[in-house]
C-alpha cells in the first residue's frame, strides 16, 4: 500500500468510527433502531450504547491522530486494532457458542469484521513503515 492510500484509508476509517460514536452518543435509540440486526441482540440499553459510543470516538480519534502523527501511529493503531479484532472475534464466538445464528456473520461483516481487518492491515503497514525509517536512521 502506498503512503497516500494507507493514510486516506486510515482517515476514512477514523472518520467513520467518529461518526458512529457521535451517533451513538447523540441518539442512542435512533442508532439502536437504525443499525440492521441490533434489535435482535437484546433490549435497548442507553447507557451501554453511550459507553460504546465513547469507545468508537476513541478508536476514530486513534486512527485520525495516527494518520497525522507518524511517531505515534503504531501505538495508536495497534491499540485500536486490538479492540476491533477482539470485538470481531467476540461476534464469531457468539455464533460458535450458539448465542447467535450463523446468519449474523455476513450481516456483521461490513460493520464489525471488515473494520477489524482494515485496522490490522493499516497497523501492519505502519509497523513496516516504522521499521523502514528506523533502519534508515541507523
Q: Report the pLDDT value the prediction gives residue 21, as an integer from 0 to 100.
A: 98
- Determine the average pLDDT of the residues in 20-49: 96
Contact 4, 32 (CB under 8 A): no
| pLDDT value for 132 | 80
Per-residue pLDDT reduced to its tens digit, 115-134: 999 999 999 999 999 998 65
> How many domains in the chain?
1
pLDDT in tens, 82-115: 999 999 999 999 999 999 999 999 999 999 999 9
pLDDT for the residue numbered 125:
97
Inform me whether the pLDDT recorded for 136 exceeds 70.
no
pLDDT, residue 138, reads 46
Domain span at residue 18 reads 3-137
Amino acid at each position: 500500500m502506498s503512503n497516500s492510500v494507507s493514510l486516506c484509508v486510515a482517515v476514512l476509517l477514523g472518520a467513520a468510527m467518529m461518526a458512529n460514536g457521535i451517533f451513538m452518543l447523540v441518539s442512542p435509540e435512533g442508532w439502536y433502531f437504525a443499525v440492521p440486526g441490533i434489535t435482535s441482540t437484546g433490549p435497548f440499553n442507553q447507557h451501554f450504547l453511550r459507553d460504546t459510543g465513547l469507545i468508537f470516538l476513541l478508536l476514530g480519534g486513534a486512527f485520525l491522530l495516527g494518520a497525522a502523527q507518524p511517531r505515534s501511529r503504531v501505538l495508536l493503531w495497534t491499540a485500536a486494532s486490538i479492540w476491533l479484532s477482539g470485538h470481531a472475534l467476540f461476534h464469531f464466538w457468539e455464533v460458535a457458542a450458539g448465542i447467535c445464528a450463523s446468519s449474523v456473520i455476513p450481516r456483521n461483516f461490513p460493520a464489525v469484521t471488515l473494520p477489524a481487518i482494515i485496522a490490522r492491515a493499516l497497523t501492519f503497514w505502519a509497523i513496516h513503515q516504522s521499521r523502514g525509517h528506523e533502519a534508515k536512521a541507523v
